[in-house]
Structure 1
Amino acid sequence: MKAEDLKTKTADELQKLLLDTRKAQFNLRFQKTSGQADNPSEIRKLRRNVARIKTFLTQRRKEEAAAPKAKKTSSKKAA
């Protein structure tokens, strides 16, 4: 998954995508252990996608936390 794709998604969509990616990662780990994995490099790709999604979720949370602070400071009147 590319970063451009993640930028357009909402926080809820990112959470769902994170959950789906983690499930796929879990299943691939079991397949690798049992020797059924077709493409073991997929585990690496999924691990990086999880990190990428978490990064975007953290950025969104920081933006949301900073937004109310900006509104509070702009509502004060100069004396």
Structure 2
Amino acid sequence: MKTAELRQKDVAGLEAEVKQLQKAHFGLRMQKATQQLNNTASLRVTRRDIARAKTLLAQKRAETEAK
């Protein structure tokens, strides 16, 4: 997911996105463990998407607390 798309979401939307990405990452990890995952690079992509969403979520929370 692009950073610009994430910046348009509010705090609740970002929390939902993080939760959805974590579920997807868990599914990919289970597929890898059972030898069903063909594209192992997708693990890295989802992990980085989670980090990106969490970073923006922290920034938005800091902005709202500062106001």
Superposition TM-score tier, normalisation by shorter sequence: over 0.9
Aligned 1:1-79 pairs, distance under 5 A: 1-67=1-67
| TM-score, normalised via structure 1 length | 0.82
The residue type paired with residue 59 of structure 1 is: Q
1:15: how far off? 0.6
Runs of 4+ in 1 over 2 A off after TM superposition: none
Structure 1 residue runs of 5 or longer lacking an equivalent are: 68-79
CA distance in 2, matches of 1:59, 1:23: 23
Larger radius of gyration: 1
| TM-score, normalised via structure 2 length | 0.96
Deviations 1:28-47 (A, max 9, x none): 00100110002111000000
CA distance in 2, matches of 1:22, 1:12: 15
Q: Report the identity percentage.
A: 39
Which of structures 1 and 2 has the larger relative contact order (alpha carbons within 8 angstroms, sep 6+)?
2
The residue type paired with residue 21 of structure 1 is: L
CA distance in 1, matches of 2:22, 2:35: 20
CA distance in 1, matches of 2:7, 2:28: 26
Structure 2 residue runs of 5 or longer lacking an equivalent are: none
